[in-house]
Amino acid sequence: MILYLHGGAWVLGWYNNHRVLAAHIGRASGSRVLAVDYRLAPEYPFPAPLHDCLAVYKRLLNDGIDPNQIVIAGDSAGANLTLAVLLTLRDAGQTLPAAAVCISPMTDLACTGRTFNTNKDALLTAEFALSMSRHYIGTQDACLPLISPHYGDMTGLPPLLIQAGEDEILLSDAERLADNARHAGVNVTLTVWPHMWHVFHILAPYLPEAKQAIDEIGSFIRRHIVSETAGDYNKVKKIVDDIL
């Protein structure tokens, strides 16, 4: 099962492009997908979106879903929330999922990455990222690890797949995340796609690179999730119905 946390700079909500992307990832991995429609800034800045994502994950565990069958995945701001969920669970001594996927993650809301002001991203501008991230940060310190996982300790996290485009402004965020996680002993796979931009995955199946990236995500998830047990489908369906 995939717990999917959508992007949109913590301000833009769950929309059809993310619905299609999550469906492609579910199909590629042979997994069900539960997407979190978390609260949005500026009305609900940090930590409200993080608390929503944590609540859904804990609900799955409370309803008997094996964490070894769960992968948390997210794109952009959703990848940031994915890492914040992992750090929060680890620090609380709670059970972590089997693995996590970070697509074009924004990990440093202080925006100190080398590529933030130098790369020419076809989708995301530095001005937009700065403006939206301020709504999420609110009155908090941008360098808090749960806001900017770049400044956090990655020790003890589950296997990570990190994907980014070569031309995106957040390339440095992805690269530094991979370096920090490896130095902490985490099993990390970083794939950088030549000439691609921020969350190019949303153009699947029309863009060959997007399809290839989603296929890699599917293979990664299948490698890290144990075989499902009988009855899990009905159990998850009931949880989804209750949440909705």
- 127 is annotated as an active-site residue: no
User: Using an 8 Å Cβ cutoff, are 164 and 171 in contact?
Assistant: yes
Cα(171)–Cα(106) distance, rounded to whole angstroms? 9
CA neighbours within 13 Å on the CB side: how many for 243? 20
Q: Which of 24, 198, 201, 224 is catalytic?
A: 198
Task: Count CA atoms closer than 13 A to 121's CA, side-chain side.
Answer: 24
Which helix (H) or strand (E) segment holds residue 178: the answer is helix 171-183
Query: Given 6, 24, 168, 175, which residue is catalytic?
Result: 168
Per the listing, tokens 């998830």 go with: 221
Q: Calculate ∠ Cα 39-43-45, nearest 5°.
A: 70
Question: Which position among 76, 104, 148, 172 bears the catalytic label?
Answer: 76
| 198 is an active site residue | yes
DSSP-derived 3-state class of residue 80: helix
Token pair in block for residue 189: 């796979």
Do 137 and 131 form a contact (C-beta atoms < 8 A)?
A: no
Half-sphere exposure for 203 (CA within 13 Å, toward CB): 13
Positions marked catalytic: 76, 168, 198
